[in-house]
Copies of this chain bind each other. A is one copy, B any other.
Amino acid sequence: MAENEVYQYSIISALMDGVASHGTPISRVLEHGNHGLGTFRNMVGEMIVIDGTVYQMKSDGTVVLIDNPADTITPFATITRFRATTATQATITSKQDLSALLTRLFPSARNHFLAIRMDGVFKSINVRTAGGQLTPRERLPAVADRQTVHTFRDVKGTIIGFRSPDYIMGINVAGDHLHFIDEERKEGGHILAFETEGDVLVQVAQLSRFHVELPTEDEEFNEAALVKDEKGIAAVEG
């Protein structure tokens, strides 16, 4: 796939409906990019793809390098071959601040996608990690109810994520969806909030093509109602 296009496997409404027993090998996802996020079979942990390397950030606080992506399954992932078109050193004090900066940098992009990377030192960063389904088809909101929240302090690391347009809600997560991993690749998760120390480097690209691969021969997916639960998605993924 060309640079700066969105590829996603499955849709977020399927994950909401608990469709996570099957999926696609992560190696197939990596064919489409090097910068992304997602989850793993049975929603065990948060996925981050940074510079083409995949990590599984688990609810016990550990981070696992996925060195066998051909043998590891994801039921939902979003990725791009990232090439920043804008890079700026900025003082970003919070998640809200990053959000406002993105809007200032791309004032006409509300109907397009942005791929986002931010490198810096974090005074504190709050992340959550999903521990996984207790039973097949357990819905994401139930899984998220048991999520673990970690706070890391004085840590250097990277945010990887996407901003998606409102109309994509249900297919993917509208708004900003950001995961974090530290420089040592030992701590990370889905970002809830953060506070930085000094300047950070924010790199962004606008994406205008998106590609969706739906699960095939997957009865869970075929049978799911896939009703868009806008508030529910925002609550667990926003």
Q: Enumerate chain B residues within 8 angstroms of A227, measured Cβ to Cβ.
A: 166-167
Known: A167-B13, A167-B170, A170-B167. A213 touches B208 (CB 8 A): yes
Q: Enumerate chain B residues within 8 angstroms of A88, measured Cβ to Cβ.
A: none
Question: Could you give 17 example pairs across A and B, Cβ below 8 Å?
Answer: A13-B167, A108-B222, A108-B223, A109-B222, A111-B214, A111-B222, A111-B226, A166-B227, A167-B226, A208-B216, A209-B211, A209-B212, A209-B213, A210-B211, A210-B214, A211-B211, A212-B212
A228: Cβ under 8 A from any B Cβ? yes
CB pair A210 B212 closer than 8 Å: yes
A123: Cβ under 8 A from any B Cβ? no
A14 closest partner in B (C-beta) = B111
A76: Cβ under 8 A from any B Cβ? no
List residues 107-124 of chain A with CB under 8 A from any CB of chain B. 108-112
Contact of A171 among B13, B109, B171, B208 (CB under 8 A): B171
| A33 vs chain B, min Cβ distance (A) | 15
CB pair B214 A11 closer than 8 Å: no
Q: Enumerate chain B residues within 8 angstroms of A211, measured Cβ to Cβ.
A: 209-212
Q: Enumerate chain B residues within 8 angstroms of A13, measured Cβ to Cβ.
A: 167
Knowing that A108-B223, A167-B228 are A-B contacts, what are 5 other residue pairs whose CB atoms are under 8 Å apart, sorted by A's residue number?
A111-B214, A165-B226, A167-B227, A208-B213, A209-B212
Q: Enumerate chain B residues within 8 angstroms of A112, measured Cβ to Cβ.
A: 214, 216
A98: Cβ under 8 A from any B Cβ? no
Rounded to whole angstroms, the CA-CA distance of A84 and B165 in the bound complex is 34
A221: Cβ under 8 A from any B Cβ? yes
Contact of A167 among B11, B108, B166, B210 (CB under 8 A): B11
Q: Enumerate chain B residues within 8 angstroms of A167, measured Cβ to Cβ.
A: 11, 13, 170-171, 226-228
List residues 33-64 of chain A with CB under 8 A from any CB of chain B. none
A201: Cβ under 8 A from any B Cβ? no
A200: Cβ under 8 A from any B Cβ? no
| A208 vs chain B, min Cβ distance (A) | 4
A224: Cβ under 8 A from any B Cβ? yes
A213 closest partner in B (C-beta) = B209
